[in-house]
Amino acid sequence: MGREATSRDLALAAARAASEKQAERIVILDVRDLIVITDYFVIASGSSDRQGKTISQEIEEALRKLGSKPARREGEADAKWLLLDFIDVVVHVFASEERDFYDLERLWMDAPRVDWEAEDEASSG
C-alpha cells in the first residue's frame, strides 16, 4: 500500500474485523471535534464473553497488519466490556447488557457516525 494508515483507516478496519466475527450493532463515532484524546470510537457487541474476546482479537490482528498495536487493553478478565486503545482509535467491545447500560452512543450523540458499510462497498467495487 505504501502509505501509513490514517485513524479513519484504522477505525474502518476495526469495524470490518468485528463484522468478520459476527459482531452486532457495529458503530464508528467520529469524536475528533468533541475530544482531543482520540479520533474515533468503534463500538461493537458480542453475544457471549467468548465472542467478545474473539472479536477483540480479530480487531487487534487486523490493526497490527496496518502497523498499529494497542497502547493498552482493559476488561479482559470478565470480557463484559473490552477496550482496545490504539491512541487515535479506541475500540469498545461490549456484552449486550453492558452496552445497553453504558450506552456510549447516547453519551456521544453529538458525534457524527461513519457509515463503514457504505465505505466498505465503495472500496471493494
Whether 33 is in a domain gets the answer: yes
Q: Look up the CATH number of the domain holding residue 22.
A: 3.30.460.10
Separation of alpha carbons 36 and 115, rounded Å: 22
Q: pLDDT at position 90, please?
A: 98
Counted domains in the chain: 1
> Per residue in 7-58, pLDDT tens?
999 999 999 999 999 999 999 999 999 999 999 999 999 999 899 999 999 9
Cα–Cα distances (Å) from 69 to 9, 55, 62, 64, in that order, read 14, 15, 10, 5
Look at residue 123 and tell me if it is in a domain. Answer: no
Q: Tell which residue, 90, 23, 27, has the closest CA to residue 50.
A: 23
The whole-number pLDDT of residue 76 equals 79
**Residue 116 domain-assigned?**
no
pLDDT the model gives residue 1: 42
**Mean per-residue pLDDT for 78-102?**
94
Residue 98: predicted pLDDT: 93
Full domain range(s) for residue 45:
7-111
Classify residue 54: in a domain, yes or no.
yes
